[in-house]
Amino acid sequence: MRGRKLWLLQIGVFCVFSQEVGAVWFNGVSRTASAADASDPVERKPGVRLDVDVSAVTLAPYVWKRTGSASTARAEATMPGAYLRTVIEGSSTISLLIDGTANNGCPVEAMPVVDFSVDYGPYQSVRLVKTGEVYALPLAENLDRNVPHRLEVHFRSAALGPARWQASTVHLRIAGFELEQGGSLAPDTPRRKLAIGFGDSITEGVCNEGSCPYYSNLLMNNARSTWFPLVCSALDCEYGQLGTGGQGMVRPIEIPPLPQTWDHFDAATSRLTDGLLLPEPDYVFCAMGTNDFRMTAGGREHLDISEAYTGWLAALRKACPHAQCFCVVPPLGWHSKEIAAAVTARNQSGDRGVHLVDTAPLKAAFHESRGTQLAADGVHPSVYGNAMLAALIAVEVQKTLRPAIEPEGGNRSRRSGFR
């Protein structure tokens, strides 16, 4: 009975949370078909510019490629899902400094969309349109400068191309903040643990706000309201979200297969330091497999991902010696046996830190060729579908972790390792 109550409680919590964050807001008006853009005219006065590479800015782990220092410092995200948080003090205005040179040559309809929230207010969306320079993107004005203001910014969506992996054209590159003279930054309280998650267009949030041809309306995509951030909230994690359409475990599409990309920010820059993912995450999630098929005269033929998945887990363990790794079966149930076999192989090798998360209880609510209650196209979960998926995954993860939970003040389990 207790387990059933926990399950129902978490479903309720996740559903309410997802419905709250699912709407797109701008100036207090719900807008799900369009967003304001960065060219909206706002009268601006000279202010103080603060760099992005300061300790007062909480950057999502593992996803921001950081370059330069001081005024040349940049934080660049390849895939939607990256976020930052900070606290603004002594300023009635807030602007985010965007380095638009990253987006040179990008079609307007492919430009990144950013969500932001001030003081836990409704998320508002803005589509970037400028290129070729560093510019100030106004986020808030007429604030009370005598009290601190919490700012949260999310990379909501962007087109898959041109060249998401090979170039910066559809990336989000941040240079810092612009505040009133005398304004400053203070840190927001970080969560206790760290997680990184790999996935495809489901984890990217493609079409989770409504049905549309893929990437045709970027406001229908929302990385912020997918299953992974919800699970990380339940686990009290800062997280690096790496979901991208056009990727499989073995099938090369727009993005090379995961075993070729997981340890890189982009095609040219490694994510690892001396072979390690630092700081080491507490949890690693992988939700891949939906794209691993090919079409033949006889229909869809699934590709064997067993060897690639097992090899990737071995490589991951070298970079993250102590992390708990959760291998999530795609909602359609595809490749479930191969994923389970890869997990078993790791367990039999002595690695007890790799776990299977079977989404079979929700399999009937998804379909490869027609819409369902949880997915308008049958494949990509809606906001509600993501909430249901997150609840299932969170409960399964908590079941796995419960035996390892230590008394308050005890040593962290990561010290023992899982080799």
What is the pTM (predicted TM-score) of this model?
Answer: 0.88
Domain count, the chain: 2
> Among 160, 186, 212, which residue terminates a domain?
186
pLDDT at 57 over 90: yes
Q: Nearest-5° angle of CA 240, CA 246, CA 249? A: 75
Backbone angles phi, psi at 222, to 5 degrees: -150, 100
In terms of domains, do 117 and 135 share one? yes
pLDDT of 298 reads 85
Confidence of residue 15 (pLDDT cuts 50, 70, 90): very low
In terms of domains, do 143 and 206 share one? no
pLDDT of 402 reads 86
Confidence of residue 299 (pLDDT cuts 50, 70, 90): confident
In terms of domains, do 8 and 58 share one? no
pLDDT at 28 over 50: no
| In-domain check, residue 380 | yes
pLDDT of 101 reads 98
374 Cβ contact partners less than 8 Å away, ≥ 6 residues apart: 331, 362, 365, 366, 381, 382, 384, 385, 388, 389
Rounded Cα gap, residues 301 and 235, in angstroms = 37
pLDDT of 236 reads 97
In terms of domains, do 108 and 218 share one? no
Q: Average pLDDT over the chain, rounded to whole?
A: 89
In terms of domains, do 221 and 354 share one? yes
CA-based diameter of the chain, in Å? Answer: 68
Confidence of residue 87 (pLDDT cuts 50, 70, 90): very high
pLDDT at 1 over 90: no
In terms of domains, do 211 and 125 share one? no
| In-domain check, residue 411 | no
pLDDT of 47 reads 87
pLDDT of 40 reads 52
| In-domain check, residue 139 | yes
pLDDT at 127 over 60: yes
In terms of domains, do 229 and 144 share one? no
pLDDT at 143 over 60: yes
pLDDT of 183 reads 97
| In-domain check, residue 91 | yes
pLDDT of 131 reads 98
Which residue's structure tokens are 């490694």?
270
In terms of domains, do 89 and 215 share one? no
Chain segment 160-185, per-residue pLDDT in tens: 999 999 999 999 999 999 999 999 99
CATH number of the CATH domain containing 108: 2.60.120.260
pLDDT of 12 reads 47
In terms of domains, do 210 and 166 share one? no
Residue 385 structural domain = 2-22+191-405
Name which residue leads in pLDDT, 414 or 101.
101
Give percent above pLDDT 90 in the chain.
Answer: 82
In contact, 169 and 105? CB cutoff 8 Å: yes
In terms of domains, do 210 and 238 share one? yes
| In-domain check, residue 27 | no
CATH number of the CATH domain containing 394: 3.40.50.1110
In terms of domains, do 276 and 379 share one? yes
| In-domain check, residue 88 | yes
196 forms bridges with which residues in the sheet?
Answer: 240, 284
Whole-number Cα distances in Å, 358 to 68, 211, 343 = 43, 26, 12
In terms of domains, do 167 and 256 share one? no
Mean pLDDT for the stretch of residues 319-339: 97
